Amino acid sequence: MKTLKIIKIGGNIIDDEVALHKFLEGFAKLASPKLLVHGGGKSATKLAKEMHIDVQMNEGRRITDAKTLDIITMMYAGKINKMIVAKLQANNCNSLGFSGADGNSIVSVKRPIQEIDYGFVGDVKKVNTTILKVLLENKITPVFCAITHDENGQLLNTNADTIASELAVAFANDFKTELYYCFEKNGVLRNIQDDDSVIENITTETYQTLLNEGIIADGMLPKLNNCFYALQHQVQKVCIGQPTMLFQKNIKHTTIQQ
């Protein structure tokens, strides 16, 4: 059984032209099969402000009204996705840009209104790998943005970490899937002010201790929830850290284990 690397890059890498160029150069050299998932960075927020559209956030999560959905679709599925695909082509990595609507690959349901109405935000319902497997078999790399659909013509804004995790789980029967969350930090940090305070291994047991101590909080919580979800569904390996962990040996990072 072949190994499939599913790699998600965070917004701070996308926002940094030099870091993005370096990452894509390295990613292009990784052996196939591989799949890339990207977030949106600050570009959607910047464009919204330029168009005088209010940016609403709740605990770091974007509230997506109809106008905001237009903005993020333009930026995520349009400019950013196609820019990444073009740069990969320039590095001899044949790739194809995807939203969840393309090939009916990721179907979501609109998040129900509870205490907060998140608007056009989608929670993943199912992943269809049929077309994606054909591409991977032919050494074509899918590049996913953080947009899905509901099979009724509605696009939905969906968390990119969740998309990466759901894709890794969906492929687990066909490949040995490995999931890598790449961002600007060296991994999960014991002290957010100290980049060298990397927690190199987190298990279900130590995770609970770190939660109780308040060391893991805020945006890292949903990321780690996605990590453990993947491991519980036959994903072979899950790591968090800088992109260099993909290309060099002995790079400090965090490995998530059951």
78 annotated ligand binder: no
d(CA 13, CA 10) in angstroms, rounded, equals 6
Can you tell me which residue has the tokens 């370096």?
22
40 annotated ligand binder: yes
157 annotated ligand binder: yes
d(CA 35, CA 45) in angstroms, rounded, equals 26
Write out the H or E segment, with its range, that includes residue 212. helix 204-212
Peptide bond connecting 33 to the previous residue in cis, omega within 30 degrees of 0: yes
147-149/155-157 β-pairing: antiparallel
Report CA-CA distances (Å) from 88 to 36, 140, 142, 190. Answer: 11, 11, 11, 35
CB 245 within 8 A of CB 180: yes
d(CA 247, CA 253) in angstroms, rounded, equals 12
Annotated binding site for substrate: 40-41, 62, 157
Annotated binding site: 40-41, 62, 157
